[in-house]
Amino acid sequence: MVESINYLISNTKVDTERISDGSHTFEDLYNHRIILYLSILGLIKDNPNYKVWYAHKHSDGSVWKGWIVVGVLNILTTEQISYHMDSKYEYILASMNVLMLEFGLVWDGYSADDVLDRLLNWFTKQ
């Protein structure tokens, strides 16, 4: 079933941002994720245990036009989390005085599940 749905999405002109579960669209959920992530970064940006940053270029110098990569490095564990987001959010990072790097940090190979684990471990365990 999932394969069929993904096939239909990838082989038609479906606007995936408009797909909904009846309450929220994908676009709604991505916007929530971005704002929640930016909120977390705003709360921890001055904590010496974290390095919060953003960049227009990946560590290898490649660029996704119109996008920035926004990350946080846990200094204690050397683990990181980063997300790509539309560059329209850059003004928020600038207003929070988040460090802008020439190149993003080298990706440490984390998976989507690792991100969830890291968020829980970093921010819920005292």
Quote the pLDDT of residue 52.
98
Mean pLDDT of the region 1-17: 73
With 80 as the cut, is the pLDDT of residue 9 above it?
no
**Of 17, 20, 40, nearest in space to 93 by CA:** 40
In this prediction, residue 25 has a pLDDT band, given cuts at 50, 70 and 90, of: confident
Which DSSP symbol is given to 17?
G
Q: What is the pTM of this model?
A: 0.83
Tell me the three state secondary structure of residue 109: coil
Structure tokens of 44? Answer: 């921890």
Q: Tell me the C-alpha to C-alpha distance, in Å, between residue 106 and each of 61, 76, 103.
A: 11, 17, 9
Per the DSSP assignment, residues forming a β-bridge with 25 are 20
